Amino acid sequence: MTATEREAAALVIGGGPAGLAAAEVLAEAGVPVLVAEAKPSVARKFLMAGKSGLNLTKDEPFAQFLAAYGGAAARLRPMLSAFGPEEVQRWAEDLGEALFIGSTGRVFPRAMKASPLLRRWLGRLEAGGVTLATRWRCLGRAGKAWRFATPEGEVRVRARVTVLALGGASWPRLGSDGAWAAWLGDAGVPLTPFVPSNAALRVEWSRHMARHFGAPVKGVALEAGGQRSRGEFVISAQGLEGGGIYALSAALREGAPLVLDLAPDVPLERLAGRLAAPRGKRSRASHLRKTARLEGAKLALLNEFARPLPEEPGALARLIKALPVPHLGLAGLERAISSAGGIRWEGLSEGLELLAMPGVFAAGEMLDWDAPTGGYLLTACLATRRWAGRAAAQRLTGSSR
């Protein structure tokens, strides 16, 4: 069957938030844009993330925000300076979304879901001349044309500029399967293998922990590889998951031990003194609840990893303040919220154009960078896509507007 041939001024492959952000910038520059999405609808991962509140960004000093990106911070600095936490908030508010800032600085829509914002965003894109084509799965390139498998058969698109917005390799059922790495690698684009990020930590539990599955653990500090986190996490059948764990993904992925401080606001000496108080007729568990404020999930974790508990108050206090958690590493890519790895920085221009494929730009989770959840991940995806979209518009029109 002969493939249908089409022409496009600008082609965006991938309809997640990063691809839509690139399309928005191109449309603002007066460029007609075709967005090709493999799934039946766009922004599926965005909508899934929105079910837990849609954490858009983090309201904190820029230097602190930038530090969350670790080794990629220097490369991301100009993009996040152009479109960082403040710009994300203004962008959402311009779409009519009222926001609020939580106690930890995380920024959420008051609606606490993604669908209202997405509907308004899609409406604005359509009004700006952006065309969406769903169920278009990219098969790579044949010569200068991009090949797509569509319900009507194969379609080939020749575009003056292309922005790749294909995501990483996590949550494959939502479309981010990293399959693009094969054909970009064949084209000479340097790649780093994908690894899980923001994933659950696998722990082999004793049968006694089953009744605590689903229990949240708050008011603790976590440490791995010299990094310290004060986030929350949840005990699950597979192990530990949640923001406190995700913030340490890079270190845990490298095999660093995990240590919990179950009483982070109480100095060691003071805790030891409290534990030394006469127990009287109280049980050991009751004594720990009263003196160390350990109960429920916290007490279960202490018993799981430190049984038999030492009688000497100082030794017990040291365990409460530095409880080692044996683990089996991060869960796989299919269960990870995001992935690290992808296109190496040396394969990109300052405008995020692929050096091996002139006129083709890439950003978002396709790039070799890593970030924790908490607003950092989404903000950088939006920032890098807008940066790539602006560079693509510059190539077409000579204007970086």
Q: CA–CA separation, 401 vs 399, rounded Å? A: 6
CB 243 within 8 A of CB 230: no
CB 129 within 8 A of CB 82: no
Which of 330, 10, 5 lies closest to 170, judged by CA? 330
- Say which amino acid occupies 174: L
pLDDT-wise least confident of 68-77, 317-326, 392-401: 392-401
pLDDT-wise least confident of 43-52, 89-98, 240-249, 362-371: 43-52
| pLDDT for position 400 | 46
Predicted confidence band of residue 128 (pLDDT cuts 50, 70, 90): very high
CB 206 within 8 A of CB 304: yes
Instruction: Kindly give the pairing relationship between strand 106-109 and strand 99-101.
Output: antiparallel
Does residue 1 carry a pLDDT above 70? no
Give CB contacts under 8 A, 24+ apart, made by 174-182: 174/39, 174/44, 174/45, 174/48, 175/14, 175/16, 175/37, 175/38, 175/39, 175/44, 175/45, 176/16, 176/45, 176/339, 176/365, 178/333, 178/339, 178/342, 180/138, 180/140, 180/366, 181/342
Edge to edge, what strands does the sheet with 106-109 contain? 57-58, 106-109, 99-101
Torsion sign across C-alpha atoms 65, 70, 72, 74: positive
Q: What is the mean pLDDT of residues 166-174?
A: 85
DSSP H or E segment with residue 164: strand 153-164
Torsion sign across C-alpha atoms 345, 349, 354, 357: negative
Does residue 51 carry a pLDDT above 80? no
Residues carrying CATH 3.50.50.60, the chain? 4-196+338-397
| pLDDT for position 175 | 76
Mean pLDDT of the chain: 93
Q: Would the pTM count as exceeding 0.95?
A: no
Find where tokens 């191109």 sit.
26
Q: What is the mean pLDDT of residues 82-92?
A: 97
Predicted confidence band of residue 399 (pLDDT cuts 50, 70, 90): low
pLDDT-wise least confident of 76-85, 154-163, 226-235, 257-266: 226-235
* pLDDT tens digit sequence for 16-35: 988 999 999 999 999 999 99
Find where tokens 């000093």 sit.
61
Find where tokens 């530990």 sit.
240
Q: CA–CA separation, 122 vs 119, rounded Å? A: 5
* pLDDT tens digit sequence for 213-229: 999 999 999 999 999 98
Find where tokens 């005990």 sit.
235
Q: What is the mean pLDDT of residues 344-367?
A: 96
Q: What is the mean pLDDT of residues 90-116?
A: 93
Q: What is the mean pLDDT of residues 189-207?
A: 96
Find where tokens 């990893």 sit.
305
CATH topology of domain 4-196+338-397: FAD/NAD(P)-binding domain (3.50.50)
Residues carrying CATH 2.40.30.10, the chain? 201-325
CB 245 within 8 A of CB 232: no
* Alpha-carbon separation of residue 366 from 18, 30, 147 (angstroms): 10, 26, 19
Structure tokens at 276: 């030394």
Predicted confidence band of residue 401 (pLDDT cuts 50, 70, 90): very low
Q: Which CATH superfamily is domain 201-325 in?
A: Translation factors (2.40.30.10)
- Say which amino acid occupies 113: K
pLDDT cut 90: percent of the chain above it: 84
| pLDDT for position 50 | 61
